Amino acid sequence: MEQPRVSLTALGAALMRAAHTRLAAAPLIDDPWGDRLVVQPEREAIRRVLLQSLTPDARTRCESMGDDSAVLDAALQSHPGYGWAVLRTRYAEEALEMAVRHGVRQYVIVGAGFDSFGLRRPTFARQVDVFEIDHPTTQELKRQRLEERGIPLPPTLHFTPADLSRESVSHALGRSAFRSEEPTFFSWLGVTQYLTRDANLDTLHAIRSCSAPGSQMVFTYIDHAELGGSPTARGSGRLQVAFASAREPWVSGFDPSLLENELVAAGFRLVEDLDGVAIKQRYCPDRQDLLPMEKSHIARGEVR
């Protein structure tokens, strides 16, 4: 049996956030941790995958930048998912800040990967307990990287290793210091397209089952009509090919017209559902460095 491996997309997203923080004239987020935690062999693998996702002209332009680091930076910024990685982070953490102002003191990151929120601890979240749920392989590597760099875990950061193909979110949190009687903010970013429809619906129900009144959830998804698109299609079609070649194929999406009813069935009220164009219009309408993935969505729900 093939051993579980750390997701290249999770590592790549961390590098995208770091590149934006380091290179943008006016960054929308402040997250340099990908530069600290992703090592050279992983950078080389990510560079190869990124270049495969680009048009021939964009790939040639990136490869002409010179050394490997410059090529990687150019490929990160040229990738169709670059703007989305930044914008979804901005949206989720802005929504979290609003929830904290209304008394939320728990933040659960489902499929956390190399998310760094629990390490950054913005001022507004100093008293918030952060629970990271991810595969044990990923969390062990993250712990190892932090230890190698002499970075202690904050007491408010709780690693919650779980194979969510075998264990529910609610069961995993039941093994932790999570307080199910208190309102909680959940984020579930960049994950649903890699899961089956049944697995996604099961996760929605599992999140609701451990959510007290006042809890909220933010998650991303791909418009299901986009799946199976042509590899020559703008943005997402090329992404599907690239992720499949990296053994991380897109599996399912949601129908935006049906999402409200599906969330109601899972016990949530849909507060907002933005596609890539709408979220770019909200945060950076005039910028050309953060282009939208039009058929990607970010939705926010609250416990009914």
Domain boundaries in the chain?
102-227+249-303
CATH architecture of the domain 102-227+249-303 equals 3-Layer(aba) Sandwich (3.40)
Whether the predicted pLDDT of 241 surpasses 60: no
Distances (CA, A) of 172 to 165, 206, 300: 12, 10, 22
- For residue 206, which of 188, 182, 222 has the smallest C-alpha distance? 188
Segment 246-298, tens digit of pLDDT:
456 889 999 999 999 999 999 999 999 999 999 999 999 999 999 888 899 99
The pTM for the full model equals 0.92
Task: Read off the pLDDT band of 5 (50, 70, 90).
Answer: low
Whether the predicted pLDDT of 103 surpasses 90: yes
pLDDT for position 16: 98
